[in-house]
């Protein structure tokens, strides 16, 4: 696994800081080999999928971010016989693979460093950008939500999904 001083590459070969966490532990648990089919439900830069396929296993992968899919040509070419990549949410798994056909799965759930590093995606903590926050880049943006919902609706959302300890707020009453 790369450290902070190591240079990693993304699925298109460019530099990226995203490194799969717990990679050796994931590989140990999955024990990938030529006879296995593994599901990677959050493909991202393809780090888990690459390591799994290097061990000989086939991978069915999904990602809801269209940029991930469009930037994956290199890894798709390198592992053409082993990788089936789909623009979908991991919750759509049964639309993609037959129930009972998988030998294991991996999910690196959450916002990726690739999304946070792109200010225009609206996830960044360090850079100015639009308030977007749509992983799939489709549907209602975060700006739409905060600018159109009433304060009590926002308080309910932030309290419930933001795990706010003092929820419910008086604004919800």
147 and 106 belong to one structural domain: no
Confidence of residue 67 (pLDDT cuts 50, 70, 90): confident
Give me the pLDDT at residue 169, please. Answer: 55
Give me the pLDDT at residue 14, please. Answer: 47
* Assigned domain for 134 exists: no
pLDDT (average), residues 62-75: 89
149 and 64 belong to one structural domain: no
Kindly tell me if the per-residue pLDDT of 10 is higher than 80.
no
Q: Do the bridges between strand 104-106 and strand 15-16 make them parallel or antiparallel, or are there none, so unpaired?
A: unpaired
Residues 56, 34 contacting (CB under 8 angstroms): yes
Q: 98 is in which domain, residue-wise? A: 8-113
Query: What is the count of structural domains for the chain?
Result: 2
Alpha helices in 21-163 (DSSP H): 23-30, 47-54, 66-70, 73-78, 93-96, 113-116, 142-148, 151-161
154 and 109 belong to one structural domain: no
Distance CA 129, CA 98 (A): 41
85 and 158 belong to one structural domain: no
Among residues 113, 131, 152, which one ends one of the domains? 113
pLDDT (average), residues 1-15: 41
Give me the pLDDT at residue 56, please. Answer: 98
Confidence of residue 167 (pLDDT cuts 50, 70, 90): low
The CATH number linked to 59 is: 3.40.50.150
34 and 90 belong to one structural domain: yes
* 74-132 pLDDT, tens digit each: 999 999 999 999 999 889 999 999 999 999 999 988 666 667 677 777 677 777 888 87
Bigger pLDDT: 100 vs 169: 100
In degrees and rounded to multiples of 5, residue 151 shows phi and psi of -60, -35
* 16-60 pLDDT, tens digit each: 556 788 999 999 999 999 999 999 998 988 999 999 999 999 999
* Assigned domain for 16 exists: yes
């Amino acid at each position: 696994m790369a450290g902070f001083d190591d240079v990693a590459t993304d699925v298109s070969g460019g530099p990226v800081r995203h490194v799969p966490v717990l990679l050796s532990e994931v590989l140990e648990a999955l024990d990938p080999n030529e006879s296995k089919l593994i599901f990677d439900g959050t493909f991202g830069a393809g780090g888990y999928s690459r390591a799994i396929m290097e061990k000989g296993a086939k991978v069915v992968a999904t990602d809801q971010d269209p940029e991930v899919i469009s930037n994956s040509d290199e890894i798709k070419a390198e592992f053409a016989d082993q990788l089936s990549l789909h623009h979908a949410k991991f919750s759509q798994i049964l639309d993609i693979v037959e129930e009972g056909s998988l030998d294991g799965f991996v999910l690196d759930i959450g916002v990726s460093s690739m999304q946070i590093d792109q200010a225009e995606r609206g996830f960044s903590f360090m850079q100015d950008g639009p308030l977007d926050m749509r992983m799939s880049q489709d549907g209602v943006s975060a700006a739409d939500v905060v600018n159109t919902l009433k304060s009590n609706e926002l308080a309910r959302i932030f309290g419930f999904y933001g795990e706010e300890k003092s929820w419910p707020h008086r604004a919800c009453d």
